[in-house]
Amino acid sequence: MKKLYEKSELLFALVMITLYVVLFSASDSLSELLGVQKLITAIAGSGLSLVLLFCLCRRGLCARYGLVKGTYEKGAYLYFFPLALMVSVNLWGGVQMNMTVTESVCYVIAMFCVGFLEEVIFRGFLFRAMAKDNVTSAVIVSSVTFGIGHIVNLLNGAEVLPTLLQICYACAAGFLFVVIFIRSGSLVPCIVTHCAINALSAFAVERGNAFSFITAGVLTVVSAVYAVWILHRTPKKSL
């Protein structure tokens, strides 16, 4: 992997995306066979996350891929209130235990790993690799591929309509996250938000298609408006 990264950062990013999708899909299936949802996924995700974090720190690449505090102009980020609003969406319909305690713990761990890995891979590796040639194209590809990537949930038994809605707001959220990364130099707010949204879905109450449309609309609009606000209120930075 080291030689692949040194040869082509873009190819490395694509390989990491493939590895991530295959690993988590296979882990989800194996977890189902064992009768404990997300058990293997939590283990595999934790292992991949720790290895990736260790490698980035060892090679001094944490700053390049946003694993640093970042710089935030006063007032420009609205104290991240819009991110907190996005996180709260999964709790609007109420809170309940949808799985056993063991499965809930495994689910939360797995979703934290998903949040970390997807941000580092899509906003970090893929965006950085493409931004060398064209920042605008890098933003579009990073956002759209992140959203479309959620179609893999259909292979894991997800319903069509919720998945399509998820793809829509994931594209918008992906755009917001890459804007935060570009302007602040940090992926930490994006990782925290992504992890929290994913993890809280374990305790969400299903309220039907109408409610799904509302929450998807809120996530899409908040993401888009907040991204435009940040772009307007913060200075451009060299990448």
Which pLDDT score, from 0 to 100, does residue 150 have?
72
Please state the length of the chain: 239
d(CA 177, CA 237): 16
- Calculate Rg over the CA atoms of the chain: 17
Domain ranges in the chain are 2-233
HSE of 190, CA atoms in CB hemisphere, 13 A: 36
Kindly report, residue by residue over 201-234, the tens digit of the pLDDT: 999 998 888 888 888 999 999 999 999 999 999 9
**How far from chain centre, in Å, is Cα 171?**
10
Kindly report, residue by residue over 110-166, the tens digit of the pLDDT: 999 999 999 999 999 999 999 988 999 999 999 998 888 777 666 666 677 777 888
d(CA 165, CA 172): 11
Kindly report, residue by residue over 54-68, the tens digit of the pLDDT: 999 999 999 999 999
Query: Could you tell me the two tokens for 43?
Result: 């283990």
Residue 183 predicted with pLDDT over 70: yes
d(CA 176, CA 38): 28
d(CA 146, CA 143): 5
Angle among Cα 15, 238, 123 to the nearest 5 degrees reads 30
CB 155 within 8 Å of CB 25: yes
Whole-number average pLDDT of the chain: 92
CB within 8 Å of 83: residues ≥ 6 apart: 189, 192, 193, 226
